[in-house]
Amino acid sequence: MLQRGSKTRVIAGVSIVAAGALALAACSSSDDNATDGSSSSTAGKSGSFTYLSFAENTAIKGTLESLSSDACKDENASSPLKVTTQPQASFDQQIQLLAGQGALPSIFPAGNSPDVAKSLDKAGNLVQIGDELKALGKQDDIIPAAKSTIEKLYDGKDYVLPTEFNVEGFWYNKEIFTKAGLEAPTTWDDLVKDADALKASGIQPFAADGKDGWPLSRLVGNYIYRSLGADALQAVADGTAKLTDSGYVEAAQKVADLGKAGYFGKSVGSIDYTTAMNQFLTGKAAMYYMGSWALSNFNDPKQNVIGADNIGFVPFPAVTGGKGSADELAANVGVPLAMAKSKFDDGAKAWLGCIADNYGAAALNTGGVITGFKVNDDSTDVPALTKSVQDTIAHTSNTVLWFEALFSPKATTTSQTNAALLATGQLSPSDYMSKIQADLG
């Protein structure tokens, strides 16, 4: 028979063990689909085809769902599409956690900055999509310009899918330009002259989203590409040039000069994306630097008061005496999708093939989105403005990236949060570039 003291010790011991067991049970993963955490391929088995979407982006989700009930219904029958969402602001954090637990979804946006996907790839988490497409004989489903942009973004590798292929440049209001007797600018000097003439006639020359900052910082990046050449920002990434070098600071100075002259309207730092879009589409501003993803807004008569026929597109103008060319369009692949090696089973492989064959046409049909996939369906009817952009893309052989494409997440934040200060004269061009360079190391 146990003594009283021994009994108490036993009870205390059992209580502690039980509490610990309960706590461990509470802390353990409850994800039935979670793998064993290994990063090896699970070829042979077919589970669900899981897609973790940006909560704010419904276009990709919509296209995948439309494929699941149409062109990819056989793939969906053996490996059903399951979509979950995560707000974009906390997406990188979620991906890091999932990668750490070996619980990445089958397919997911490659993060808010290329650095996220590069880290995942370095850790062996990603499917080499280019190689897989080659094995499936579908490598031609990705258009060359998109492939080239992806390789520039991801150190020469192609482990993402281009769910969009956007070109960027100045969209202008043809009617305002005609009334003011102006031509679409082809050089930076023309652009400034046009802006000056427009302001003198009481029209705001540019609409810009200074609240998010990137539409302003992209002007800096484009000027650098035009004046210093297409490899100017790669040189910064490689450490052979610095943003504080005079040629780079000059680009920031040019954008600051536009702000100083009042071409962005009052308080550009208070203008958000929707307001800037609205200013252009209601004829309150004559020019708008934006990517071709805005075509869905331009083609929507409810939003576009000035009319789609009234909108023209010019690439970012050339800088006289510069090493770059206006033919090198600024391009990006929107929200590129990566695939997890740990979930790349036969079902996921079949889905990859089906997406490569059909995503381009489906995205064009469902949302009017131009993607980096070949459109394997001639019957797709697209609005005239979209068609003209498609033609521009078809005639583009060289592309350049955007200002922050090769920056770390910290330098990207610094660049974008300080862009409005640059444009409103609260931060000097050299200080702006110094701050970003400090984050680049």
Does residue 97 belong to the site contacting another protein (CB under 8 A)?
yes
| Strand 204-207 versus strand 166-173 pairing type | unpaired
Q: Which of 92, 168, 345, 357 binds another protein (CB under 8 A)?
A: 92
Q: Tokens for 274?
A: 């929707």
Helix (H, G, I), strand (E, B) or coil at 285: strand
Residue 86 in contact with another protein, rule: CB under 8 A: no
188-192 contacts: CB < 8 A, separation 24 or more? 188/223, 188/226, 188/254, 188/317, 188/318, 188/319, 188/320, 189/320, 190/317, 191/317, 192/257, 192/258
Q: How far is the CB of 322 from another protein (least distance, A)?
A: 29
Using CB under 8 A, pick the residue from 6, 10, 16, 238 that binds another protein: 16
Q: How far is the CB of 232 from another protein (least distance, A)?
A: 25
User: Considering Cα of 34, then 35, then 41, then 42, what sign does the dihedral take?
Assistant: negative
Q: Which is nearer to another protein, 100 or 144 (CB)?
A: 100
Nearest CA to 150 out of 121, 183, 188 is that of 121
Q: Which stretch binds another protein (CB under 8 A): 91-99, 130-138, 327-335, 370-378?
A: 91-99
Q: Which of 38, 90, 178, 320 binds another protein (CB under 8 A)?
A: 90
Q: How many angstroms separate the first and last alpha carbons of the chain?
A: 71
Q: Which of 58, 270, 320, 398 binds another protein (CB under 8 A)?
A: 270
Q: Which of residues 398-427 bind another protein (CB under 8 A)?
A: 408-410, 413-414, 417-418, 420-421, 424, 426-427
Question: How near is the Cβ of 366 to another protein at its closest, in Å?
Answer: 32
- Select the residue interacting with another protein from 38, 40, 84, 93 (CB under 8 A): 93
Contacts of residue 323, defined as CB under 8 A and 6 or more positions apart, other chains included, come to 227, 228, 229, 232
Identify which of 361, 379, 357, 378 has the alpha carbon closest to the alpha carbon of residue 370: 361
For another protein, which is the closer residue by CB, 1 or 25? 25
CA gap 357, 334 in Å, rounded: 19
Part of the chain binding another protein (CB under 8 A), chosen from 13-21, 80-88, 169-177, 286-294: 13-21
Measured in degrees and rounded to the nearest 5, phi and psi for residue 11 equal -60, -45
State in angstroms the smallest separation of the CB of 40 from another protein.
Answer: 17
275 binds another protein (CB under 8 A): yes
Closest C-alpha to 343, from 116, 46, 78: 46
Coil, helix or strand at residue 204: strand
Question: What is the binding site for another protein (CB under 8 A)?
Answer: 5, 8-9, 11-12, 15-16, 19-20, 23, 90, 92-93, 95-97, 99-100, 115-116, 119-120, 122-123, 125, 265-271, 275, 279, 408-410, 413-414, 417-418, 420-421, 424, 426-427, 438
